[in-house]
Amino acid sequence: MEDFLGGRKKKNIGCEFEEQNINKRLNAKNLFPKCKSIIAIGVPYGEGYKIPSFSEKGLLSVSSHGEDYHKRVNLLLNKLAEEIMRKVDFEYTACVDTTFLIDKEICKSAGLGSYGKNSLLINENKGSFIYLGYLLTDIETEGDTISEDDICGSCDICVKSCPNNAIFKKGGINPKKCVSYLTQTKSYIPLSYRENMGRQIYGCDVCQIVCPKNKEILNRKAREDYSGLAVDLEELLSISNKDFLNKYGHTAGAWRGRNIWKRNALISVGNLKIDSMFNKVKAELQSPSDMIKIYAAWSILNLNKSLAGDILFSYLKYENDMVKNEYLKLMEAKL
């Protein structure tokens, strides 16, 4: 594991959402010094999910459906701890996603599943739509059998379907190319990746939706209404911080904040070629945020290159060097 993580670092394919200190990640005692054993759970989601029907809307990933999964899984872990405490007194720390530990490795060691080529942990019965969580405990227990199955065999559907070719042929991903990463990062998004982000506002589910291991779960009758995952792009462009938090604050995707969602909405409008939103996007060239300005420029150039080019040219004299240089680069780029 140490070599694997070190190799990724050398190849510069780690991302800012991972702890950079590799040694810290490898031992649960770094988080909970009394740790003797770990009790892991996988919480299924996405049953019966079909991409909501929409035409000119943005899309959130299934993991953004309903109440933030961090809260839900944490609650389940604490309930589980309460149950165990009826039998034995113990100390614990509950973990879901946000610690420096490697959730997939820990849950794989607990026998919850095997890695798919899409890099996700796939459970034999529930597929990959499972949130992972665990209790670091000071109880001594016996370990589980680790599954080393080659769960994919000759299948390579996700490799071929990934919109930005983020999945390596042999398995594993380059996170910096993953659309889910691109929708979350505050770093500059390379022009060549933007088209591949499609209409995604937060996250990406393509490699899970196409995976045969999820077919059974996805084919079930939905017991929840997923239509809220299709979001109004026009509204996102003008939504206030307060309204954003009221409407989306409870979801797992909201942690990235309104401005990043707005940037992604600008990219989606450009990709979907929503001409009727030309003036709305143009108005964002006056945004107080330079980041929003440069993505608005990319977006209107995608809607109407010649008209947008004239507008951007007339704005050059008001802009700082960073924004000016980006407008010039975009006007020359083959969009």
- Catalytic positions are 97
When asked if residue 116 is in the footprint of ligand SF4 (CB under 6 A), the reply is: yes
130 makes contact, choosing from ligand B12, ligand SF4, none, with CB < 5 to 8 Å by partner type, with: ligand B12
When asked if residue 264 is in the footprint of ligand B12 (CB under 6 A), the reply is: no
When asked if residue 111 is in the footprint of ligand B12 (CB under 6 A), the reply is: no
Task: Pick the binder of ligand SF4 from 135, 152, 229, 260 (CB under 6 A).
Answer: 152
157 makes contact, choosing from ligand SF4, ligand B12, none, with CB < 5 to 8 Å by partner type, with: ligand SF4
When asked if residue 156 is in the footprint of ligand SF4 (CB under 6 A), the reply is: yes
Q: How far is the CB of 108 from ligand SF4 (least distance, A)?
A: 14
Angle of helix 290-303 relative to helix 321-332, nearest 10 degrees, comes to: 20
Residue list 194-233, contact with ligand B12 (CB under 6 A) = 203-205, 207
The two structure tokens encoding residue 307: 């008209």
When asked if residue 156 is in the footprint of ligand B12 (CB under 6 A), the reply is: no
CA 84 to CA 1: how far, in whole Å?
Answer: 31
When asked if residue 253 is in the footprint of ligand B12 (CB under 6 A), the reply is: no
The two structure tokens encoding residue 201: 């506002």
- Residue 107 or 166 having the CB closest to ligand SF4: 166
175 makes contact, choosing from ligand SF4, ligand B12, none, with CB < 5 to 8 Å by partner type, with: ligand B12
Tell me, by CB under 6 A, how many residues bind ligand B12: 37
Q: How far is the CB of 182 from ligand SF4 (least distance, A)?
A: 8
- Residue 98 or 325 having the CB closest to ligand B12: 98
When asked if residue 64 is in the footprint of ligand SF4 (CB under 6 A), the reply is: no
Residue list 54-93, contact with ligand B12 (CB under 6 A) = 61, 63
131 makes contact, choosing from ligand SF4, ligand B12, none, with CB < 5 to 8 Å by partner type, with: ligand B12
Q: How far is the CB of 109 from ligand SF4 (least distance, A)?
A: 20
CA 312 to CA 301: how far, in whole Å?
Answer: 9
When asked if residue 164 is in the footprint of ligand SF4 (CB under 6 A), the reply is: yes
Q: Which residues bind ligand SF4 (CB under 6 A)?
A: 116-118, 152, 155-158, 162-164, 166-167, 173, 178-180, 204, 206-207, 210-213
